[in-house]
Amino acid sequence: MTKPKVLVVEDEEDTSNAISMIQKISDILASATVLDELLDRLADELMAAFDTIACAFILNDDETEAYAFRKNDRARAKSVSRTIVPPEIDEKLRRALASSRGPTLLSGLEGLQLDDVLPGSKKAEDGYIVALLEGTTRLGAIVISVGPGFSLSPEGEQLLATVSNLVSLAVAKGRVGGSLQEGELVHRRLVHQCITAQESERRRLAGEIHDGVVQSLVGISYRLQALEKKMPSGVDDGFRKNLKLLEDQLTCDINEIRSMLAGLRPPTLNGTSLFSSLDTYLKNFGIKNNMQASLLVPDDLPTLSRDAQINIFRIFQETLNNIEKHSKATEVSVEIDVGLKDFFMTICDNGRGFHVINRRGLASHLGIASMRERTELFGGQFNIKSESGQGSTVKLTIPLEQITEDEHV
């Protein structure tokens, strides 16, 4: 068996793959309405992401059932089986998982083998199992097959644990029993968990790049400067000129990376106020794109929760990214206002605009869908108004009680 693709998150591409997987699983959990369809689609994502040939979902109900999926050796299709887990095996699972909330190798659990929970497994195969929990209630477990002697990296364990949390919420949602209010709450928790996982990956990536790549480049820059000062006076002027060009390019590259890091981990994530972060980001955006940029903020502003600050900043950031990529605008303005019950943010540009009604794929555009989900997470409304040649306006309205409390989901 080959080494899984995303178990060791070493660079930006791998991190992007992990975030993409979490987003896909969240979309599956939110859209699939039939259990068989849900598990089938989840199995495809798990086997692709962890590069494994088999996985299983164990669900506890009146009887404990194992839904096993295995890739066929000679075909692209997969085989599916559904079996009842014997009571003695279920009792061993319950005892083994009672003391472990994270992914655990089955070979390390007393009296259990992979074939007990993933039928058709070979003796040489091992597997990781992670419990599906709602609070302290065990709803079941996820199992993935791995090769002998293989162990997940810490990032791989974290990713599998995140997946199990999302699936746990979906299983809990399926057992709500028709309560629309509780179903909506579970859905919001699913979205919140997905966004939290994305922010965690961004923070980790920003820290690794800053402490690794940036520091290395800064060190190279210092060494080049020292080399320039120590060069004999007789060194060719052309060589000096090329060395200076190299220094300038390196400085430019360092600034570019630092700008990227500001997007991955904006100042608001480090304790700076949201509105100060918006102002700094907007000024840099205007300079970078040669746009006239303005921010209007009232004097009396409420203290927003950390989750609210992060999500509002991401909506603001995604809107500016769209303006930069598509609008050809020369002016952008951001206005924040606070009413008696609601928080408002309006972002306008004077770009080329588009026909909102006629623009195909607008509703399913990932960036717009993400902004809408982030807004609705707080019970708010997200709207876009635009006409061809008349610029665009993005507006979100969020109830203050949802964003000034520490907990909202």
Q: What is the pTM of this model?
A: 0.45
CB 190 within 8 A of CB 32: no
Q: Give the pLDDT of residue 244.
A: 82
Task: Determine the 3-state secondary structure of 99 from DSSP.
Answer: coil
Q: Give the pLDDT of residue 73.
A: 65
Same fold, 12-175 and 269-409: no
What are the residues facing 332 on neighbouring strands? 293, 349
List, for residues 125-145, the tens digit of each pLDDT value: 888 999 888 777 888 899 999
Task: Determine the 3-state secondary structure of 236 from DSSP.
Answer: coil
Rounded distance between C-alpha atoms, residue 359 and residue 355, angstroms: 6
User: Which of these, 365, 328, 369, lies nearest to 350 by C-alpha position?
Assistant: 328
Q: Give the pLDDT of residue 193.
A: 62
User: Which of these, 160, 171, 197, 192, lies nearest to 59 by C-alpha position?
Assistant: 171
Rounded distance between C-alpha atoms, residue 319 and residue 286, angstroms: 14
Residue 62 reports pLDDT greater than 90: no
CB 57 within 8 A of CB 140: yes
Residue 7 reports pLDDT greater than 50: no
CB 85 within 8 A of CB 65: yes
Residue 113 reports pLDDT greater than 80: yes
Q: Which CATH architecture has domain 12-175?
A: 2-Layer Sandwich (3.30)
Q: How far is CA 381 from the centre of its chain?
A: 22
Task: Determine the 3-state secondary structure of 41 from DSSP.
Answer: helix
The model's confidence at residue 124, banded by pLDDT at 50, 70 and 90, is confident
User: Which of these, 345, 315, 321, lies nearest to 333 by C-alpha position?
Assistant: 345
The model's confidence at residue 386, banded by pLDDT at 50, 70 and 90, is confident
Residue 373 reports pLDDT greater than 70: yes
Q: What six digits make up the tokens of 194? A: 């997905």
33-42, 67-76, 317-326: segment of lowest average pLDDT: 67-76
Which ranges of 78-142 would DSSP assign to H, the alpha helix? 87-98, 114-117
Residue 349 reports pLDDT greater than 90: yes
49-53, 98-102, 149-153, 222-226: segment of lowest average pLDDT: 98-102
Q: Where are the domains of the chain?
A: 12-175, 199-265, 269-409
Q: Give the pLDDT of residue 188.
A: 57
CB 83 within 8 A of CB 66: yes
Q: Give the pLDDT of residue 319.
A: 92
Highest averaged pLDDT of the listed ranges 97-111, 196-210, 222-236, 284-298: 284-298
Share of residues in the chain with pLDDT > 70 (%): 77
Q: Which CATH architecture has domain 269-409?
A: 2-Layer Sandwich (3.30)
What mean pLDDT do residues 101-122 have?
A: 83
Q: How far is CA 199 from the centre of its chain?
A: 6
Q: Give the pLDDT of residue 263.
A: 62
Q: How far is CA 231 from the centre of its chain?
A: 49
Instruction: Using alpha carbons, list the distances in angstroms from residue 74 to 21, 41, 79, 193, 210.
Output: 26, 21, 12, 38, 46
The model's confidence at residue 39, banded by pLDDT at 50, 70 and 90, is confident
Q: Give the pLDDT of residue 179.
A: 41
Instruction: Give the type of residue at 279.
Output: D
List, for residues 145-158, the tens digit of each pLDDT value: 988 778 888 888 88
Q: Give the pLDDT of residue 154.
A: 83
